[in-house]
């Protein structure tokens, strides 16, 4: 085993039962076969390419035979320049950040507490930091940005999973992948790469805050689809902030269902017509949009019936001098340019960053006993800015066809899609649209399950949602294994 691994033993109480486990923190080195051979042994040489940092949790109180068949779940976040810290210390791992929630955030310094809702009682866990995030780096002499591309990223994470399963004897384990945000894009692509390249078939995919088809979330000229798909999430957010009239404010589900009906029908049809709408028709549609999203009909008219995410997050609470979060619209903040149309300070990401950064630095060194003086790249914005999609030049990124192919070839594969009602980065209605247009054979459509939470992108920062999500994940894993 590599010498930089730190192995420690711990205990945590989950659902009233004590679970003992081993934590492994360190790196695995990815290599590439070369044409050179050792002249004595005739062994093909391997050239190191990158060191991927990971943290794994393996339950102790079972036999080796049971462990070989115990479920294992590989987890990562998105960005694509994000480390795995969010789901690691927010949802799945045995320790979680205590930071409060929207409207009741705690002050620094922040602390970790035992996560009684960890998924470790159901599955072993491996958290992967893609290259350039966390402590993962390309080796000396290799170009880091080589890995910051759609296909290369999938290959490096997929090769890590293959190597981990080989080195730690997990090929007989039921295997799951859980990705969040761009991590769902990566997970869908991985399902194809692992199956095609390594013959590794998955039991389940869990998508948290899903984006598989970027056309559904890109507000670009000529693309009316996002305006339709964002209207029900806008309605949910307006409901949360009490900006709807009494007929819609009676319940969240009522507001969302009514907005879904309008968006799928009259609103989509109106956008298709463009300037062929009469002035009276345009006014009527503007008033209905305003009714559903809590803005003025005049503002909607000035937007040509097309209110994008930036306009909405700036405008909804403008009279209060506040903006709302893109990742979680329950969070509010004070912008530096209150009269402009650009977001300067995004309140939900600001709320998360401090607590999770402090927590991972302290946790890795003091509890997991892994020491490194490298910066732990929580969110590498340079990667986000320079990420490349060579496979999708001239088109929207869309991995839904890969997922459809994998689900049709591995008919046992189950999918769980976790949606936050107040997530405006990867809106729930866009996820619904994507899966409604997957065109799976009828017999396979029940392999996809949708789950919803009254929170945002990181829905697990909301304690009731964390409790519900743990239950949903546990039921999903058991059913996927049983099938």
DSSP string, 150-168: HHHHHHHHHHHHHHHHHHT
**Can you give the pTM of this predicted structure?**
0.94
Q: Tokens representing 481?
A: 């294994």
Comparing 312-321, 450-459, 471-480, the range with the smallest average pLDDT is 312-321
> Per the domain annotation, does 82 fall within a domain?
yes
- Residues 442, 443, 444: CA angle, nearest 5 degrees: 90
Q: What is the CATH number of the domain that holds 165?
A: 3.40.50.1820
Are 203 and 319 part of one and the same domain?
no
Are 111 and 190 part of one and the same domain?
yes
> Per the domain annotation, does 191 fall within a domain?
yes
Are 289 and 359 part of one and the same domain?
no
Q: Tokens representing 423?
A: 């997530």
Are 265 and 125 part of one and the same domain?
no
> Per the domain annotation, does 1 fall within a domain?
no
Return d(Cα 477, Cα 202) in angstroms, integer. Answer: 12
Pick the last residue of a domain from 305, 326, 347: 347
Q: Which residues have C-beta within 8 Å of that of residue 314, sequence separation ≥ 6?
A: 323, 335, 340, 341, 342, 343
Query: If you search the block for the tokens 């929170």, which residue do you land on?
Result: 455
CA dihedral 138, 143, 145, 149 (to 10 degrees): -90
Question: 10 Å Cβ neighbour count for 397?
Answer: 17
DSSP H or E run through 126: strand 124-128
Confidence of residue 68 (pLDDT cuts 50, 70, 90): confident
Mean pLDDT, residues 283-289 taken together: 98
Give the β-pairing of 323-324 and 111-114.
unpaired
Return d(Cα 276, Cα 313) in angstroms, integer. Answer: 29
pLDDT at 1: 39
DSSP H or E run through 22: strand 17-37
Return d(Cα 371, Cα 409) in angstroms, integer. Answer: 43
Number of structural domains the chain divides into:
2
pLDDT at 177: 98
Using the predicted structure, report yes or no on whether residue 341 has a pLDDT greater than 80.
no
**E strands present in 270-409:** 323-324, 332-333
Are 154 and 295 part of one and the same domain?
no
> Per the domain annotation, does 319 fall within a domain?
yes
> Per the domain annotation, does 421 fall within a domain?
yes
pLDDT at 144: 81
What's the pLDDT tens digit per position in 244-258? 999 999 999 999 999
Are 358 and 337 part of one and the same domain?
no
> Per the domain annotation, does 265 fall within a domain?
yes
Q: What are phi and psi of 72, to 5 degrees?
A: -130, 135
CA dihedral 451, 454, 457, 458 (to 10 degrees): -90
Return d(Cα 58, Cα 21) in angstroms, integer. Answer: 5
Are 71 and 114 part of one and the same domain?
yes
pLDDT at 43: 61
Are 67 and 97 part of one and the same domain?
yes
Are 197 and 329 part of one and the same domain?
no
> Per the domain annotation, does 437 fall within a domain?
yes
Are 73 and 203 part of one and the same domain?
yes
> Per the domain annotation, does 253 fall within a domain?
yes
How many distinct helices (H) and strands (E) make up the chain?
A: 16, 16
pLDDT at 69: 82
pLDDT at 222: 93
Return d(Cα 418, Cα 472) in angstroms, integer. Answer: 9
Confidence of residue 37 (pLDDT cuts 50, 70, 90): low
Query: If you search the block for the tokens 């969302």, which residue do you land on?
Result: 256
Pick the last residue of a domain from 331, 347, 363: 347
Are 309 and 432 part of one and the same domain?
no
- pLDDT > 90: percent of the chain: 87
Q: Which residues have C-beta within 8 Å of that of residue 242, sequence separation ≥ 6?
A: 249
What sign results for the dihedral spanned by CA atoms 208, 212, 218, 222?
negative
Q: Tokens representing 297?
A: 């009909």
Using the predicted structure, report yes or no on whether residue 339 has a pLDDT greater than 80.
no
Are 66 and 95 part of one and the same domain?
yes
| Structural domain boundaries, residue 79 | 6-215+352-482
Pick the last residue of a domain from 297, 318, 347: 347
């Amino acid at each position: 085993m590599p010498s930089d691994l730190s192995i420690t033993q711990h205990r945590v109480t989950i659902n009233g039962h004590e679970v003992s486990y081993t934590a492994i923190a360190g790196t695995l080195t990815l290599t590439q076969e070369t044409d050179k051979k050792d002249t004595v042994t005739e062994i093909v040489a391997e050239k190191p390419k990158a060191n991927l940092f990971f943290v794994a949790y393996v339950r102790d109180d079972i036999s080796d035979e049971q462990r070989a068949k115990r479920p294992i779940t590989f987890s990562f976040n998105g960005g694509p320049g994000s480390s795995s810290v969010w789901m690691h210390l927010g949802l799945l791992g045995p320790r979680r950040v205590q930071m409060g929630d929207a409207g009741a955030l705690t002050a620094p310094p922040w602390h970790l507490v035992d996560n009684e809702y960890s998924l470790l009682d159901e599955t072993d866990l491996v958290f992967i930091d893609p290259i350039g995030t966390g402590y993962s780096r390309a080796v000396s002499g290799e170009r880091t940005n080589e890995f910051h591309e759609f296909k290369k990223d999938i290959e490096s994470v997929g090769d890590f999973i293959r190597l981990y399963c080989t080195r730690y004897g997990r090929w007989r384990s039921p295997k799951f992948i859980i990705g969040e945000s761009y991590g769902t894009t990566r997970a869908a692509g991985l399902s194809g790469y692992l199956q095609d390249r390594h013959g590794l078939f998955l039991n389940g995919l869990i998508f948290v805050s899903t984006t598989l088809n970027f056309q559904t979330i890109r507000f670009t000229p000529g693309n009316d689809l996002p305006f339709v798909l964002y209207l029900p999430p806008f309605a949910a957010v307006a409901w949360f902030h009490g900006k709807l009239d009494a007929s819609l404010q009676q319940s969240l589900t009522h507001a969302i269902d009514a907005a879904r009906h309008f968006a799928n029908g009259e609103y989509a049809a109106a956008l298709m017509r463009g300037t062929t709408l009469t002035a009276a028709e345009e006014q009527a549609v503007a008033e209905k949009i305003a009714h559903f999203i809590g803005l003025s009909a005049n503002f909607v008219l000035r937007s040509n019936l097309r209110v994008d995410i930036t306009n909405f997050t700036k405008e909804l609470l403008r009279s209060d001098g506040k903006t709302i979060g893109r990742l979680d619209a329950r969070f509010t903040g004070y912008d530096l340019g209150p009269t402009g149309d650009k977001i300067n300070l995004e309140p939900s990401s600001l709320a998360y960053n401090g607590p999770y950064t402090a927590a991972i630095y302290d946790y890795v060194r003091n509890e997991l006993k892994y020491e490194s003086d490298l910066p732990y790249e929580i969110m590498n914005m340079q990667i986000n800015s320079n990420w490349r999609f060579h496979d999708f030049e001239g088109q929207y990124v869309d991995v839904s066809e890969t997922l459809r192919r994998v689900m049709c070839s591995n008919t046992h594969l189950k999918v769980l899609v976790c949606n936050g009602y107040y997530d405006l980065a990867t809106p729930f209605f866009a996820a619904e649209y994507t899966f409604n247009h997957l065109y799976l054979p009828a017999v396979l459509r029940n392999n996809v399950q949708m789950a919803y939470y009254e929170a945002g992108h990181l829905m697990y920062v909301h304690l009731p949602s964390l409790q519900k999500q743990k239950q949903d994940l546990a039921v999903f894993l058991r059913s996927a294994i049983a099938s």
